[in-house]
Structure 1
Amino acid sequence: MTQARVSAENSRNIGAHDEIVDIVGIGFGPSNLGLAIALRERNAIPGNTPITSTFVESKPEFQWHPDMLLPGATMQISFLKDLVTQRNAASDYSFLSFLHDSGRLPHFINRQTFFPTRIEFHQYLAWAADRVDADVRYGTRATTIIDHPDHFEIELEGADAGSVRARNVVLAGGLTARLPEGVRSSARQFHNHALLSRLAALPETTRNAFVVVGAGQSAAEVAHYLHEQYPGADVHAVFGKYGYTPADDSPYANRIFDAEAVDDYYGSSAEMKARMLSYHRGTNYSAVDLSLIEQLYEIEYAERVAGPRRLFVHGGSALAEVQEEPDGVSVRIENRLTGAVEQIDADAVVYATGFTSMPLDAILGDLYAAPAPVDGARVTRDYRLRTTRPTAGGVYLQGGTEDTHGLTSSLLSNIAVRSAEIVDSIAAGLHTRERELVRSV
């Protein structure tokens, strides 16, 4: 080995001893779990220089929407769009490997479906998180990223307070529940993201009624769940559409979630990007599986026939007034088409009103500026954020890239391929860094 090569290797070893890892992943949900698996599999290939990593996760253990693991709720994507299969069909971390390891593979095959329940898919994700055995600092939140000449310093609070240093950062902070303007979360008014926990802690239910706000899949699932779990209660679904809209999961429309579609979308004009998002919003936003729509309609119709009425769907409507009281919530529902107003005395109001992406300025400070740079997209094709000034390493985004990379930005569909693209980009950057160190010796 040449002296120059020894110096380059020593530089990486010195960084390791100084606890400078190659990657710090912020957030350890499905996206960075997929990244951890891609790293583990890449590092296992003979001849590859290992890429070191650590992850920071605010939750106390691996979790994926635990308060929406409703009985019978199924995934809206095929199990083949798991953490690995589209990148490495022979991976030991696939959903099929999980089924085999769990002793359920033949039983799942007999179900003749591509769509596991959400509870089972959560089990798969937890199994993969345990199997990959990544270095994860649970119960810890990253608060600030500080740029240094040769690394990033990430300040932490919580169980593992202090800081970590890394050559690259991958942000996968997930989504934050969004409530309507003026609504504050309380024991009787809350986002569906906290549904099961909040229902378990709900004060005494004396009014025997619930209001669910929203027109998407989660809103419909919540309405159906409440109707089943509280057989003595009325359920009022409120949304601005005239009726629930079926999700478009037809084969051609689903191509918008293919890995190749990211290339097409990224290279298109701003006008075409906006047009594609508008055309295909029905694949993901404010849309409901047709089978669930039909179930709800059958329930409502059966109650019209034989009574008693417990499910009420208020289309073209909105909450005109919400007044929280000691024993419940008084709600005025206004039909925006007719002007008619109905007063409902409810035990709780559940808002299935969507999410917002992780605010980048809060954690990146002056490294981040919005809107996008005028000289090009704010995120490169390999998901690297264009920071306000050059940095020694990269800041990569897993989520919050719908404007540049399309509808797969915050969804499970493209995790396997996206993880590989980020790993390849980081590996290339580290290799370039080594070459520069060799030349400088």
Structure 2
Amino acid sequence: MKEESGKIIYDLIGIGLGPFNLGLAALLEKVPEIDALFFEQKEQFSWHPGMLIEGATLQVPFLADLVSMADVTSPYSLLNYLQSHQRLYKFYFLERFHIPRTEYNAYCQWVAEQLDSCLFGAKVLDVEKHDGYYEVKVFNQKSRQLERFYAEHLVLGVGTQPAVPASLEGKLGDSMFHSSEYLNRKDRCLEAESIAIIGSGQSAAEVFYDLLEQQTDYRYSLDWFTRSKGFFPMEYSKLGLEHFSPDYIHYFYQLPQYKKDETLQSQDLLYKGISAETISDIYDLLYERTIGDQNPPVHLQAMTEIQEADRCRNTYHLKCWQWHSEQSFSRQAEVVILGTGYKPVIPSFMSGVYPFIDWDEQGRYQVERNYQLKLKPPYKNDIFIQNGELHTHGIGAPDLGLGAYRNAVIINTITGKGIYKIDSRNVFQTFSTKASAERVTV
């Protein structure tokens, strides 16, 4: 931090406080040479509150906390959280590698409460580029005042936003909503006579299972549609998981962009499928419910796209297209839940900096290997990106297990030092022929 023309200029300002920027703030506690502030418009840390379904777990091991994969000695590890809350023995006896999603959220809140650099209730309105620093305009929601802050570097951690099919965007409301709003709208679901769930990922599956469990109490019919080829499990083999490693990022980053885009289209089941445990739970419950020739009002259908949804009174008429057999049909649902995933967001508050960002041909960020955005002309004050580099760095971009690694790279880049050790060989397999040859030579 330095003072220039009466302005206090921080080394770093982070915008958004999801797990990735929160992890960066935690790791910076051991880096006194970087003075940082982080802003979040929510009043407290809250991670996908609409999907904190009881019994739902993270899809990554507990070591994918905010810090451990970069620094296992950090006081902000999940294990230290458990010990601080007298839960370490309970967790030990639990014998599970995947923790409840609600506990992950509670753990992150515990970390956030300890970090003075994390400011909640602070909405960033605008960012301007000046000679040697960025000016960040922030609305303090508690004082109702506009404040200005200055930093040499920025880290964007605004995450993603719900993806909604274009044909349904204008029809969202109390009875048609994205799965991210599920718990907020669950009472509406329980009042309905018919519910349709759209999508084939983990969120859609968790919503379907939660409603399936309560179907006998509330008597609604339950449809589940996806345009995917089936309700397939996520690839979770040990060698498959090696794609979520710094080694694979290094390999993927060096590919030409057209090859990256092709590759991502073929990797859906590495990060978009359903956990095998959730599929098993669903199947077991369906099996139990059909004993004795029972026929519950449940309908699952893949290879089906919802083309239109017209509302008549309190019911949606869904026009469906089974693309494999090329047949159309219709269904009715009083409530429609869209488990249709998330998409990258380019925040409007960055509009003043847009002209200086070097966009690719598809209007996406171009991102350097160390997570800096490419700027034009090259500028000494960097902007780093968190979970906005899927198209440049590969499928590990949204993965919690690589968040600490990315933050270690960002910290090392800003300081110009090896503050956090970056291992160069983390997996058993080799992705590129060059690396393979080098290994043979050694």
TM range (shorter): 0.7 to 0.9
Residue type of the alignment partner of 1:422 = I
Which residue of 1 is the match for residue 56 of structure 2?
Answer: 73
- Give the deviation of 1:60 after TM superposition: 1.7
Which of 117, 125, 128 does residue 108 from structure 2 map onto? 125
Deviations 1:84-125 (A, max 9, x none): 111111111111111111111111111211101111111111
Which residue of 2 is the match for residue 84 of structure 1?
Answer: 67
CA–CA distance in 2 between the matches of 1:358 and 1:390? Answer: 23
- Give the deviation of 1:166 after TM superposition: 1.0
Which residue of 1 is the match for residue 425 of structure 2?
Answer: none
Which residue of 2 is the match for residue 29 of structure 1?
Answer: 18
Which residue of 2 is the match for residue 98 of structure 1?
Answer: 81
The verdict on how the C-alpha distance between 1:338 and 1:152 changes in structure 2, with shifts beyond 3 A counting, is closer
Which residue of 2 is the match for residue 316 of structure 1?
Answer: 303
Aligned residues of 2:189 and 2:335 also touching (Cα < 8 A): no
The verdict on how the C-alpha distance between 1:372 and 1:15 changes in structure 2, with shifts beyond 3 A counting, is farther
Aligned residues of 1:149 and 1:392 also touching (Cα < 8 A): no
Q: Secondary structure at the match of 1:413?
A: helix
- Give the deviation of 1:143 after TM superposition: 3.3
Alignment of 1:21-420 (within 5 A): 21-43=10-32, 50-136=33-119, 138-157=120-139, 159=141, 161-183=146-168, 184=170, 185-200=172-187, 202=188, 205=191, 207-231=192-216, 232-270=219-257, 273-274=260-261, 276-285=263-272, 287-305=273-291, 306-336=293-323, 337=325, 339=327, 341-344=329-332, 346-359=333-346, 363=350, 364-371=353-360, 378-420=366-408
Structure 1 regions of 5+ residues with no counterpart? Answer: 1-11, 44-49, 430-441
CA–CA distance in 1 between the matches of 2:193 and 2:113? Answer: 42
CA–CA distance in 2 between the matches of 1:67 and 1:126? Answer: 16
- Give the deviation of 1:16 after TM superposition: 10
Deviations 1:34-82 (A, max 9, x none): 1101111222xxxxxx311111112121111011000111111011111
CA–CA distance in 2 between the matches of 1:406 and 1:85? Answer: 22
Q: Secondary structure at the match of 1:322?
A: strand
- Give the deviation of 1:260 after TM superposition: 2.6
CA–CA distance in 2 between the matches of 1:102 and 1:340? Answer: 55
The verdict on how the C-alpha distance between 1:150 and 1:300 changes in structure 2, with shifts beyond 3 A counting, is same
Q: Secondary structure at the match of 1:253?
A: helix
Confirm whether residue 424 of structure 1 aligns to residue 412 of structure 2. yes
Aligned residues of 2:13 and 2:37 also touching (Cα < 8 A): yes
The verdict on how the C-alpha distance between 1:281 and 1:316 changes in structure 2, with shifts beyond 3 A counting, is closer
CA–CA distance in 1 between the matches of 2:212 and 2:162? Answer: 23
Following TM superposition, the consecutive aligned residue runs of length 4 or more in structure 1 with deviations greater than 4 angstroms are: none
- Give the deviation of 1:302 after TM superposition: 3.6
CA–CA distance in 2 between the matches of 1:26 and 1:338? Answer: 46
Q: Secondary structure at the match of 2:79?
A: helix
Aligned residues of 1:74 and 1:118 also touching (Cα < 8 A): yes
Give the alignment's TM-score, normalised by structure 1: 0.85
- Give the deviation of 1:224 after TM superposition: 0.8
CA–CA distance in 2 between the matches of 1:397 and 1:253? Answer: 26
CA–CA distance in 1 between the matches of 2:59 and 2:328? Answer: 36
- Count of matched residue pairs: 405
The verdict on how the C-alpha distance between 1:421 and 1:204 changes in structure 2, with shifts beyond 3 A counting, is closer
Aligned residues of 1:235 and 1:310 also touching (Cα < 8 A): yes
Aligned residues of 2:58 and 2:101 also touching (Cα < 8 A): yes
Give the alignment's TM-score, normalised by structure 2: 0.85
Q: Secondary structure at the match of 1:244?
A: coil
- Give the deviation of 1:318 after TM superposition: 2.3
Aligned residues of 2:177 and 2:336 also touching (Cα < 8 A): yes
- Give the deviation of 1:343 after TM superposition: 2.5
Residue type of the alignment partner of 2:173 = S
The verdict on how the C-alpha distance between 1:333 and 1:268 changes in structure 2, with shifts beyond 3 A counting, is closer
The verdict on how the C-alpha distance between 1:241 and 1:302 changes in structure 2, with shifts beyond 3 A counting, is farther
Residue type of the alignment partner of 1:141 = K
* % identical aligned pairs: 25
Deviations 1:328-382 (A, max 9, x none): 43334443426252432x2310001111112167613212242169xxx921111
